[in-house]
Each structure stands twice: as structure tokens, then as C-alpha cells.
């Protein structure tokens, strides 16, 4: 089976990550074709600029499955796609955030005009509010590859243990791609108080970095503050969980319900009521390494089950088979 993921910008690395995961499954050939890159510099399999319009169009016609990462109308018009050559293929729309909240209805209307049949996916549960007919397709991460590349290997870890080394620093992190959307002001206030009160607390802001640099920073993180405005967790929370950081992320109840129903596990991300409660729980984590490990392990177990590339690939292929 040939699967094409096509996107303007590789939002959250979703198009590449899905293709990369699918390529590890038997009898699958998957690529992502990306039109634009940005400073995050997610990896990609194919860049549009190197292939040109005609080659990109032919690659799409050769696919059995085409996943449009939300930008339906521009790709049809920009590549001058012949909808008759796509009518017998399995087509999917995959939304990743503001595209669904702001333009979801418009994009689906365009899709209805251009496609005979298609399935709709969303990458976070909160987007089901905007597109209730969609299916949740979590964004994949390769837990094994990330831990091997950005963490200490087994031999070096064993050597370090031989010296009875004990980490004294507690690194707290926040990655505000948008400070307004993440509600960063509250986190900055609480983190500043922690740094002033505890000399062993070190704060790192993860912002305007490549994906590679973000993962290196996450690998040192003990406590990660994600967001308290959107109501759902972001991919940075997943990446922090890969390294077993305890994660603060304010979720709405409908998102928690979907998470727990789909995974069979309780929500692993720390909730709070107000600034005072957030500060109290933050202080508790600074003073109690075993509590940090508890939340870190819960986050890791949940994200491994939901976001690791193998279960995500299986979930995607099941949807495709049932189309």
C-alpha cells in the first residue's frame, strides 16, 4: 500500500511522524510531501521544492491513500489535481489545531465539492468540538528512537551509577510557541517564585528552537508546564513525558473523558484549581523527587500507549481498512 501525506507546513511533525511510523509496517510505503519548512525544522521525507508541481502531482496519483493535512483547496488548485484521478483512492483530512477551530467548516465544505468520499481526523481531542464527526488520531512519536538519540545509553547510565552520582538540580521547563495560547504569564509567575525559593531549581524556556534542540532540552527536564488555556495537551507534553518529566497541563473534562476512554488509563497530567493551588503543587514536586517520578511514570505509560508510533500506525491502518 502506498500512502501519501501532503502538507503545507508539517504541523507538530504529524505528517512526517505518521509516514515514518507506517514505513515500519509490512507492505507499506509512506511518504510526506511538505510545501514549507520553518524554524522548528521537523524532519521530512520529501520537500515540494525539490520535486516540482508535475512530479508532486504524479506521486499523489500513484498513492492508494492520500492524507491531506487540512489544506484541501490550495493543494487541489495549486497542484491542478484531477479529482477523477483521486476518486477511487482513500482520502483523509487531518486537522491539527486552529485550522479546525477557525476553518474546519469551510475546509469540509470544499472537500465535499472535490472528493467523493473521505474520512476526517483530528490530532487532539478538543478539536472534536469543532468537527464532531472526526476521529481522534494522536500524533506519533518514536519513543525508542528519541530515547536512544537524546538520552544516556544503558552502558553510560550504568557507569554513572557506579560513581553514586545523584542529580541535585531540578530543571523546570515551559515551551510557549504562543505565550497567549499557552497562558504563559501564570507559569512564569509560579516558576519565578520557585527559582527564588529553591537554589537547586533551574528554569529553561524552550522557545524559537529547532525540534532537535527542543528534544535535547526536554531530556534534562524534571517538571514541564504545558498550558492552561486550550484545554488539551500539546506534543511538547508528550515529548516531556518520553523523558518521564512530571507535566502540568490544564484539561477540560470532555478531553479527559476521551483520553481515559480511548486509553483505559487515567489522565496522567497534573491538574490544579487556581494560582495558589498550582504553586502549592509545584512546591510539592520540588520537595519530593518520588512524587515527580510517580507523575513522570504515569505520563510515560499513557503517552507510550497512545502516542508511540506503533499503536498510532495500527490505529491509522484500521481506519483506512474500514473506509
pLDDT at 206: 94
316 and 214 housed in the same domain: no
* CATH assignment of the domain containing 30: 3.40.50.2000
Q: Is the pTM of this model over 0.85?
A: yes
Instruction: Tell me the C-alpha distance between 121 and 143, whole Å.
Output: 22
pLDDT means per 10 residues, the chain with 323 residues, are: 92 95 98 92 93 90 94 73 92 92 89 89 96 96 96 90 89 90 92 95 94 96 96 96 98 97 97 97 96 98 98 98 96
Do 181 and 166 fall into the same domain? yes
Same domain, 181 and 128: no
For residues 81 and 189, membership in a common domain is answered with: no
Number of domains in the chain: 2
121 lies in the same domain as 147:
no
Query: Quick one: 313 and 181 in the same domain?
Result: no
Beta bridge partners of 92: 67, 119
Same domain, 174 and 25: no
Q: Are residues 297 and 318 in the same domain?
A: no
Mark whether 151 and 258 lie in a shared domain.
Answer: yes
Q: How many CA atoms lie within 13 A of 122 on its CB side?
A: 24
Statement to judge: residues 129 and 19 lie in one domain: yes
Q: Which domain holds residue 153?
A: 143-306
Q: Which of 215, 214, 190 is nearest to 201 (CA)?
A: 190
Hey, what's the cell of 320?
483506512
- Cα–Cα distances (Å) from 22 to 29, 58, 109, 244, in that order, read 7, 21, 29, 25
> What's the confidence (pLDDT) of residue 124?
96
Amino acid at each position: 500500500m502506498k500512502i501519501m501525506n501532503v502538507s503545507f507546513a508539517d504541523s507538530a511533525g504529524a505528517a512526517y511522524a505518521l509516514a515514518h511510523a507506517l514505513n515500519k509496517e509490512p507492505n507499506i510505503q509512506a511518504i510526506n510531501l511538505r510545501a514549507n519548512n520553518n524554524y522548528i525544522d521537523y524532519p521530512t521525507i520529501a520537500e515540494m521544492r525539490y520535486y516540482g508541481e508535475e512530479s508532486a502531482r504524479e506521486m499523489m496519483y500513484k498513492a492508494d491513500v492520500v492524507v491531506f493535512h487540512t489544506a484541501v483547496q490550495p493543494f487541489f488548485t495549486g497542484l491542478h489535481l484531477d479529482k477523477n484521478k483521486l476518486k477511487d483512492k482513500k482520502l483523509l483530512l487531518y486537522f491539527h489545531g486552529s485550522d479546525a477551530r477557525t476553518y474546519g467548516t469551510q475546509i469540509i465544505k470544499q472537500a465535499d465539492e472535490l472528493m467523493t468520499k473521505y474520512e476526517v481526523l483530528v490530532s487532539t481531542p478538543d478539536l472534536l468540538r469543532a468537527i464532531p464527526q472526526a476521529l481522534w488520531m494522536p500524533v506519533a512519536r518514536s519513543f525508542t528512537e528519541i530515547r536512544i538519540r537524546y538520552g544516556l545509553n544503558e552502558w553510560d547510565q550504568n557507569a554513572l551509577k557506579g560513581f553514586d552520582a545523584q542529580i541535585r538540580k531540578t530543571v523546570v521547563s515551559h515551551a510557549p510557541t504562543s505565550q497567549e495560547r499557552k497562558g504563559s504569564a501564570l507559569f512564569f509567575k509560579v516558576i519565578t517564585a520557585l527559582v527564588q525559593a529553591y537554589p537547586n531549581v533551574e528554569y529553561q524556556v524552550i522557545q524559537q528552537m529547532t525540534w532537535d534542540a527542543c528534544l535535547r532540552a526536554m531530556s534534562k527536564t524534571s517538571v514541564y508546564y504545558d498550558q492552561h488555556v486550550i484545554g488539551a495537551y500539546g506534543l511538547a507534553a508528550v515529548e516531556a513525558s518520553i523523558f518521564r518529566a512530571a507535566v502540568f497541563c490544564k484539561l477540560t473534562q470532555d478531553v479527559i473523558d476521551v483520553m481515559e476512554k480511548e486509553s483505559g488509563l487515567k489522565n496522567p497530567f497534573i491538574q490544579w484549581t487556581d494560582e495558589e493551588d498550582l504553586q502549592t503543587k509545584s512546591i510539592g514536586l520540588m520537595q519530593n523527587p518520588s512524587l515527580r517520578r510517580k507523575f513522570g511514570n504515569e505520563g510515560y505509560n499513557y503517552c507510550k500507549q497512545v502516542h508511540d508510533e506503533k499503536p498510532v500506525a495500527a490505529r491509522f491502518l484500521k481506519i483506512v481498512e474500514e473506509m
